[in-house]
A and B are shown apart, each in its own frame.
Chain A
């Protein structure tokens, strides 16, 4: 208990660190909520209109009308298109060739060209889809009416408007917890080594596992406060639903925190300096959580061997439970398997941390 008390004092005395640990998740959430979205629109587009007829103008106006494209200054010739795309000023160029309207009037298929910058793949994919959709809509009123009358046949469940904020709140919780738990805890033991205070601790009657537990308690508390903060901000400011039970949510958060603390402590025990410990923790816990937990990139898309690796990333299971509780309203009955897996990771990692710690001393 005394160790925990000392660690709490360490954290509190360092007020700037606490502000940062608590402020960062809120800033991230604000950015996601108000600024960053995965919904791509306002793609900068230039037009090369060689036809200069009402039909060609209709074409370019149709693309801009929906807000998916924003019109940048027109270009004189197709050669300029290449330069504009290459310098990154625009992401798409619409080329309407001479004789576009004439062909249309004659009933000959008339083709305009849309050049899309593939070096920004997210934008390119959306631009292609939008352009096709807009064109289909404008060129055939009948088709639109027909598809509308048939009613919505594709339904998106749990997040009907596909708002990325919903998705991001769970992502931010996972990232922030992983960061605080694994990175901060990786610093603690390494710091004692570096400053030589570890030897002093050993001279006291405190046992090894007591040291570890004492180091764990304050950071678990900090992580808890952060989870609470992110969920509160998410639900009040961005209307993220909490459909399931909060008890399940916090129970799983606790297990995930312990697992992350375990990896941080292992890093801390192995590395002697804080600098190496942080980088080690970053590589083994933070980056896998960010990259292969399914937060940013769908797991189903990864090659088989990487999917296998993602099985040992605790963040993966935590993300499932978070999304399940927040958006789907799943209870513990549905999430039992994930929760048990998390518990398994937490205990295994902590046992390894204590064991490695012991071995170092011998």
Chain B
């Protein structure tokens, strides 16, 4: 009898939350349309494969030899020839103003030195303010110059014949950024939708005093929270579906694993992000605080999740903390399942971690929620 009553009130809270959300068109757009829209627009932005670096050329030599060199420099499209200037100082200007991000300078007497088999002094200058671009640009330029460096050519070739390492990229052969970034984007969007919305939603109920009204009814706090969470888990799962579908259609993100693993992983992840939302709500007394609190968690979490930079490159003292970030486990699950076709057994560790985190966060937040009431 008691169980029936609990279920009944759970259902009622869910119904109320659902109809409240569905009635507000803007809210619905926030929950479903905006994450999907953001994925599509920003998915195109996510391209760490740097190419077409705008480059200014200063060819002072003006010989067939130097022209060959400059043409070869742009052959593989890592650099894009943007303009030619007669004077090196103008090349500097272009870098300073940001019109170009790299400069290729071929000094007077280049052809002459090549003919004499002197080391020719070609210079490539790369703008270091954008690190990604600078790394790719300077690597490509070094490699190019090493290969072009007349006279060194031979030693490189004899060396390479001795032992070779054949690289093989697994799972994402063409190393397309959108493919491996999608899980991270998905995790961020879900966190954004669920944690902020629950944190602010609960804070609003407190602000307007409706929370106190509900609490005088015989509904128990845990049931109330559960009833508030379940609809958002549903919305979150709809988001996951829509984003994966679009990711597949628009960005060719594969789906190699099983549907069940994705569903279970997403469910566990949403569980923990909602817990975070509730926890933040119990810590704040206004919507403004709740919003700031959600951000104070989200931004560092994003950095520590391995979304942008690999966890293995972080210092040893920082790595244990990343275990506490639900996003980290979710990204590993999604990368594993979508790209590598990993099954539940391969990902057991991450699933367990996510479950424990979810239970832990929710337990703390429910306890805090109760305490605030008394």
Does A124 contact B346, Cβ atoms closer than 8 Å? no
User: Contact between B123 and A155 (Cβ–Cβ < 8 Å)?
Assistant: yes
Complex: chain A residue closest to B26, CB-CB: A276
Report yes or no: B124 in contact with A154, Cβ–Cβ below 8 A: yes
Q: Is the CB of B126 within 8 A of A154?
A: yes
Is residue B168 within 8 Å, beta carbon to beta carbon, of the partner chain? yes
From B125, B152, B160, B173, A155 is in contact (CB under 8 Å) with B125
Q: Which residues of A contact B133 (CB under 8 A)?
A: 298, 300
Is A306 at the interface (CB under 8 A from chain B)? yes
Q: Which listed residue, B155, B200, B284, B296, touches A23 by the CB 8 Å rule?
A: B296
Which of B50, B149, B201 makes the CB contact (< 8 A) with A298? B50
Neighbouring B residues of A156 by C-beta, 8 Å: 125-128, 134, 138
A-facing residues in B98-121 (Cβ within 8 Å): 98, 101, 119, 121
Q: Are B167 and A271 in contact (CB under 8 A)?
A: no
- B96 — which chain A residues lie within 8 A by C-beta? 324, 328, 330, 334
Residues of chain B within 8 A of A125, CB atoms compared: 48, 175
- Interface stretch of the complex, out of A26-34, A206-214, A225-233, A353-361: A26-34
A15 to B135, CA, bound (A): 43
Chain A residues whose CB sits within 8 angstroms of the CB of B123 once the complex forms: 153-155
Closest to A56 in B: B163
Residue from the list B98, B139, B162, B306 in contact with A324, Cβ < 8 A: B98
Of A131-139, A197-205, A250-258, A342-350, the stretch lying at the interface with chain B is A131-139
Across the interface, A40 reaches (CB within 8 A) one of B139, B163, B181, B309, namely: B309
Select the stretch in B210-218, B228-236, B239-247, B287-295 that faces chain A: B287-295
- Minimum CB–CB distance for A41 against chain B, Å: 5
What is the distance, in angstroms, from A38's C-beta to the closest C-beta of chain B? 6
Query: In the complex the two chains form, is A17's CB within 8 Å of B175's CB?
Result: no
Chain B residue contacts of A166, Cβ below 8 A:
128-129, 131
A298-316 with Cβ < 8 A to chain B: 298, 300-303, 306, 309
- B159–A162 contact, CB under 8 A? no
Q: A41-B313, A159-B129, A167-B130 are in contact. Are A120 and B142 (CB under 8 A)?
A: no
Question: Which chain A residue shows the least CB distance to B350?
Answer: A88
Beta-carbon contact of A31 and B303 below 8 Å: yes
Known contacts A44-B312, A301-B47: A119-B335 contact under CB 8 Å: yes
Closest CB in chain B relative to A160 CB, distance in Å: 6
Q: Tell me whether A85 and B312 are in contact (CB under 8 A).
A: no
- Partner pick for A136 among B149, B159, B201, CB 8 A cutoff: B159
- How many Å from the CB of B21 to the closest CB on chain A? 10
Chain B interface category by residue count: 35 or more
A20 within 8 A of B: yes
Chain B residues positioned under 8 Å from A194 (CB to CB): 204, 207
List A contacts of B284 (CB < 8 A). Answer: 16
Q: Contact partner of B155 among A117, A122, A142, A163, CB < 8 A?
A: A142
* Contact assessment for B175 and A87 in the assembled complex, using a CB-CB cutoff below 8 Å: no
Which of A87, A116, A276 has its CB near the most chain B CB atoms (within 10 A)?
A: A87
Tell me, rounded to whole Å, the shortest Cβ–Cβ distance linking A340 to chain B: 14
Contact between A122 and B128, CB atoms less than 8 A apart = no
Chain B residues, CB < 8 A from A320? 98
Which among B51-59, B63-71, B260-268, B358-366 touches the partner chain? B51-59
Q: Which of A23, A31, A40, A300 contacts B53 (CB 8 A)?
A: A300
A231 → B minimal CB distance (Å) = 16
The complex places the Cα of A150 from the Cα of B156 at a distance, in Å, of: 14
Give the contact stretch, choosing among B5-13, B38-46, B219-227.
Answer: B38-46
**In the complex the two chains form, is B50's CB within 8 Å of A301's CB?**
yes
Q: Contact: B130 with A131, CB < 8 Å?
A: no
B124 touching A275, Cβ below 8 Å: no
Is B97 in contact with chain A by the CB < 8 A criterion? Answer: yes
Residue A282 interfacial (CB < 8 Å) = yes
- Alpha-carbon distance between A59 and B295 when the two chains are bound, in angstroms: 46
Q: Does A220 lie at the interface of the complex (its beta carbon under 8 Å from any beta carbon of B)?
A: no
| CB-defined contacts of A283 to chain B, threshold 8 Å | 34, 37-38
B residues sitting closer than 8 Å to A (CB atoms) are: 24, 26-27, 30, 34, 37-38, 41-42, 44-54, 80, 95-98, 101, 119, 121-135, 138-139, 141-142, 145-146, 149, 151-152, 155-156, 158-173, 175-177, 179-181, 192, 196-197, 200-201, 204, 207, 284, 286-289, 291-293, 295-296, 299-300, 303-304, 306, 308-310, 312-315, 318, 332, 335-336, 339-342, 346-347, 349-350
Closest 7 CB pairs of A and B: A140-B159, A159-B128, A118-B172, A119-B339, A156-B128, A279-B30, A118-B169
Supply 18 further A-B pairs (C-beta < 8 A) apart from A139-B162, A275-B201.
Answer: A32-B303, A34-B315, A35-B318, A36-B314, A40-B309, A88-B342, A91-B310, A113-B165, A153-B121, A158-B129, A184-B288, A184-B292, A273-B27, A278-B196, A279-B196, A300-B80, A301-B51, A327-B128
- Jot down 7 A-B pairs with beta carbons below 8 A, ordered by A: A36-B308, A140-B158, A159-B128, A167-B131, A275-B27, A294-B130, A327-B128
